[in-house]
């Protein structure tokens, strides 16, 4: 009988989702807090919109640069550790073989089986280093293109997130009325964001929506209280 091909479905875009979460979460909370804090001080929304747009521009640049530097550091750290592993297997091969054996034994292989694999790896320097990087140091090779992708993803997500709580102030003229709408829009956006995020990661959509709304709401509320106290 013909057999249906087995297809494994694994989520492989965790880094992208992480960057979107970082940018969107901050974008939803910080501009909201700024606009909310100003709502009690001014009646017209024009000043709030200008201040909000300025904050979104500055925040997206800062967040994007932060993402760039973090991704760049990951790449540089991996390369430094890889060079160090090359030096170690060249200068202390016996110790490195023993480390391979120890790692494999932690996975349940016998000493004989581990020694056989370690001996085979010792004849393939690049594969040996790959093994040590992943299983001894727990480091995965980062994609160099992620440096720019991460920066633009975080910065872009911040802009999208920031425009959501600011949108009511753009279309309405009275700050206090816009503030109430902004709260409702931000809460809805947090819930929707959590729901969509779960659809990508395989988590429970409802639970993710509730968790994201609660965490984002607490962060936005705290930021609002601070902004209101300062203003």
224 in the same domain as 118: no
DSSP label of 204: -
pTM score of the predicted model: 0.74
The CB density around residue 61, as the number of other CB atoms within 10 Å, is 14
Distances in whole angstroms, Cα of residue 140 to Cα of each of 71, 90, 136, 158: 13, 22, 11, 27
Distance CA 73, CA 96 (A): 26
**214 in a domain, yes or no?**
yes
Distances in whole angstroms, Cα of residue 220 to Cα of each of 34, 64, 227: 10, 21, 10
Distances in whole angstroms, Cα of residue 166 to Cα of each of 13, 125, 137, 174, 228: 29, 56, 44, 13, 17
Q: How confident is the model at residue 158 (pLDDT cuts 50, 70, 90)?
A: very high
Structure confidence at residue 12 (pLDDT)? 44
217 in the same domain as 104: no
- Per-residue pLDDT at 75 exceeds 70: yes
124 in the same domain as 226: no
Output the six-digit token pair for 163.
């425009």
DSSP helix/strand/coil, 92: coil
Q: How confident is the model at residue 25 (pLDDT cuts 50, 70, 90)?
A: confident
220 in the same domain as 151: yes
Distance CA 219, CA 146 (A): 28
Domain that holds residue 206: 14-74+147-230
166 in the same domain as 61: yes
- Per-residue pLDDT at 133 exceeds 60: yes
199 in the same domain as 117: no
């Amino acid at each position: 009988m013909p057999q249906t091909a087995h297809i494994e479905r694994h989520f492989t875009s965790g880094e992208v989702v992480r960057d979107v979460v970082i940018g969107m979460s901050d974008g939803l909370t910080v501009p909201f807090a700024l606009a909310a804090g100003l709502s009690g001080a001014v009646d017209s929304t024009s000043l709030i919109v200008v201040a909000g747009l300025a904050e979104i521009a500055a925040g997206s640049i800062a967040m994007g640069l932060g993402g760039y530097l973090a991704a760049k550091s990951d790449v540089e750290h991996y390369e430094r550790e890889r060079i160090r592993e090359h030096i170690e297997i060249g200068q202390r091969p016996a110790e490195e073989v023993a480390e391979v054996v120890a790692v494999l034994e932690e996975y349940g292989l016998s000493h004989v089986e581990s020694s056989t694999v370690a001996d085979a790896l010792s004849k393939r320097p690049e594969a040996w280093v790959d093994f040590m990087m992943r299983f001894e140091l727990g480091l995965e090779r980062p994609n160099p293109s992620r440096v720019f992708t991460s920066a633009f993803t975080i910065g872009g997500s911040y802009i999208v997130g920031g425009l959501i709580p600011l949108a009511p102030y753009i279309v309405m003229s009275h700050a206090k009325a816009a503030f109430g709408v902004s709260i409702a829009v931000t809460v809805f956006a947090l819930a929707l964001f959590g729901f969509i995020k779960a659809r990508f990661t395989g988590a429970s959509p409802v639970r993710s929506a509730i968790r994201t709304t609660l965490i984002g709401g607490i962060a936005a509320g705290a930021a609002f209280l601070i902004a209101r106290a300062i203003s």
